[in-house]
Amino acid sequence: MIINKEHLFEDNKKDLKSHKESFDFLGLKLDNEGHDVAKIITKLKDFQVAIPSWALGAGGTRFGRYSFYGEPSSLDQKIEDIGIIHTLTQTSGAVSLHIPWDIPEDFKSIKELACSLNIKFDAVNSNTFQDQKGAKESYKFGSLSNTSKAAREQAIQHNLDVINIGNKLGSKSLTVWLADGSNFPGQSNFQTALQHTESSLKSIYKGLPDDWSMLIEYKPYEPNFYSTVIQDWGTSFMLANACGEKAYSLVDLGHHLPNTNIEQIVSILMMKGKLGGFHFNDSKYGDDDLTVGSIKPYSLFLIFNELVYGMRNNPQNPNLAWMIDASHNIKDPLEDLIQSLESIQEAYAKALLVDQDALKDAQMNHDVVTCQEILQAAYRTDVRPLIEKARLDLGGAIHPIKAFRNLKVRETLIKERGKNTVATGL
């Protein structure tokens, strides 16, 4: 399904007047406060978030999975679905593939399809947390950290194969997340496991093309529940430094123990020039992979406040890879992703309204109340008219969820694909 631009234009017409009124009102207010509204709109337009190829169908837990009709059953259909989201939101012009879940059958045609929908190939993800049929070695007791040299070499070769696949698609980064760890005290030697992981990552790093980067994702637990080799930002940072200048840490928002100050981690990694990118989602307890901004929107805003500060003051840190990593157990996957994109854009737009110079002054003068007033003034600003304007200027929907339903997207996908298609992924 391709969204008909005429139908979208007609659907927008109903909301054009109220959008224009709220945009003009907010524009005047921000102008009076000295903000460069046009510059903020441009930043929002340039801000593109990659959609995970593994989150376009219904997710599930060990307690069950409720299928969603009209799911994509091929990579082509997944790219089409990302095209639908991108047409409506104009902020998801990239896809992050997970290998082997989404190996292209025909590289040429998949590149042409993605290009026709203005979708780029962002980071490719390796998978050494599941055994593949016919694989010689098992990852039951680890992959890059396994005490078995043969298992480590198999995992290293898989990562080199993933780089090769990404290279054919125009991707420029590899994301490595390891499930490696242990379930019981005494099961593994922490030092040996980390040493194996470091030397294995160095072997993969040697296979990186010059203009590529390696993103090392950390996670405190699951699927191992006693120890995880790359458990926190410090370990990922250490390994990235050990590998070299093309290696960075990847921050998955759900990979932190409760009440961890993630915005502080983000600011430190940026200051050290080692923040490579994000997996955006939200969570209440564990790695819940819920809709971005659905549980802790203020925390997301504080993270973007550090990102805006870092993007202004840390030229040593590269451009970041913006990606979503979520799982949809009860919502329509496409609507869930659209809501996540809106929350990300909203947090970014609010953070762009923070008067960083005034904040710095107040911090220097220990004027704690003013520090909070400056942050919360930005956070309390309803920035939705700015995001609507950025979308509208690019030919998108003023209200993407409304348009998704008014244009009967799910009904059309079910007609085209039927009710029994299942997407690969989590």
Out of 102, 232, 252, 336, the only residue in the binding site for Mn ion (CB under 5 A) is 252
| Interactions with ligand LRH, residue window 323-382 (CB under 6 A) | 325
Which residue number, 19 or 219, has a Cβ lying nearer to ligand LRH? 219
Which residue number, 81 or 325, has a Cβ lying nearer to Mn ion? 325
| Interactions with ligand LRH, residue window 32-61 (CB under 6 A) | 54
Out of 19, 35, 98, 279, the only residue in the binding site for Mn ion (CB under 5 A) is 279
Out of 279, 328, 399, 410, the only residue in the binding site for ligand LRH (CB under 6 A) is 279
- Is residue 102 at the binding interface for ligand LRH, with CB under 6 A as the rule? no
What does 117 bind: Mn ion, ligand LRH, none (CB cut-off 5 to 8 Å by kind)?
none
User: Residue 247 is encoded by which pair of tokens?
Assistant: 């290696």
- Is residue 219 at the binding interface for ligand LRH, with CB under 6 A as the rule? yes
State which residue has the least CB distance to ligand LRH.
Answer: 177
Minimum distance of ligand LRH from residue 75's CB (angstroms): 16
- Is residue 291 at the binding interface for ligand LRH, with CB under 6 A as the rule? no
What does 350 bind: Mn ion, ligand LRH, none (CB cut-off 5 to 8 Å by kind)?
none
- Is residue 219 at the binding interface for Mn ion, with CB under 5 A as the rule? no
Minimum distance of Mn ion from residue 281's CB (angstroms): 8
Out of 198, 252, 282, 306, the only residue in the binding site for ligand LRH (CB under 6 A) is 252
Which residue number, 279 or 350, has a Cβ lying nearer to Mn ion? 279
Minimum distance of ligand LRH from residue 426's CB (angstroms): 5
The site for Mn ion (CB under 5 A) is made up of 252, 279, 325
The site for ligand LRH (CB under 6 A) is made up of 54, 125, 177, 217, 219, 252, 279, 287, 325, 426
